[in-house]
A and B are shown apart, each in its own frame.
Chain A
Amino acid sequence: GAVVSQHPSRVICKSGTSVKIECRSLDFQATTMFWYRQFPKKSLMLMATSNEGSKATYEQGVEKDKFLINHASLTLSTLTVTSAHPEDSSFYICSARLAGGFSHEQYFGPGTRLTVT
């Protein structure tokens, strides 16, 4: 079945640096990918919706200049956290939707744990 990978699974970076997280759909093409952030014991919060070949749509309150999203191919989307600060530490999860499917047909990656020191 549909498999989504994320890399890295865990990253520690210093405050002020940038970090790139990759999300890949391994066995299907995904015209749409979603980026979520999850705090402990909290809901997944949608950050942005990424469509292949076009600009991402960010949710209210998410800084697009801080969280750069690129969806250059049908199998790869990247999230870059720029000038990271400790408050950006979180669990970031991507998901990919099968082409032509509804959002409930999304397949999630295993997540990336970001720690900013």
Chain B
Amino acid sequence: QKEVEQDPGPLSVPEGAIVSLNCTYSNSAFQYFMWYRQYSRKGPELLMYTYSSGNKEDGRFTAQVDKSSKYISLFIRDSQPSDSATYLCAALLYKTSYDKVIFGPGTSLSVIP
């Protein structure tokens, strides 16, 4: 079982739709949960990170974490064509000697004008 799992898609939605992206994880020791956006042939860009269960909102983006079910989500409201990218969920494993980010495989999103 992979530590962070994500449906690779592709996901195609019309402009203005609400997008829901989801991940599950297996390791209870993960402490931070992140969402990155990656455009084609570019490096990932951090969108949001959360520490505890609950919701965190930033503009059109809402990140949600449910530690009891090991489930993380990203919601995008009023989706725009510029949101078309691959979205990577990730989790941070922190130990006293090192910390390490584990990435999911990413979900490819296309927002159609």
Contacts and interface: CB of A to CB of B under 8 A. Distances in A.
B105 A43 contact: yes
Size category, A interface:
20 to 34
Nearest to A97: B99
Nearest to B43: A108
Nearest to B3: A43
A104 B46 contact: yes
A104 B43 contact: no
Given A49-B98, A102-B32, A103-B92, A43 B103 contact: yes
Contact of A43 (B43, B100, B106): B106
Contact of B42 (A43, A103, A110): A110
Contacts, number: 59
A4 B43 CA distance: 10
Interface in B22-37: 32, 34, 36
Contacts of B105: 41-43
A105 B94 CA distance: 13
The interface residues of chain A, by DSSP majority, are classed as strand
Size category, B interface:
20 to 34
A49 B101 CA distance: 11
B44 interface: yes
A46 interface: yes
B42 A44 contact: no
B101 A106 contact: yes
A41 B9 CA distance: 10
Given A41-B105, A102-B32, A104-B34, A46 B41 contact: no
A105 B92 CA distance: 10
Interface in A61-117: 93, 95, 102-111, 113
A105 B2 CA distance: 23
Interface of B: 2, 4, 8, 32, 34, 36, 41-46, 49, 88, 90, 92, 94, 98-106, 108
Interface of A: 4, 6, 34, 41-44, 46, 49, 57, 93, 95, 102-111, 113
Given A43-B2, A110-B41, 5 more contacts: A34-B101, A102-B94, A103-B99, A106-B46, A110-B43
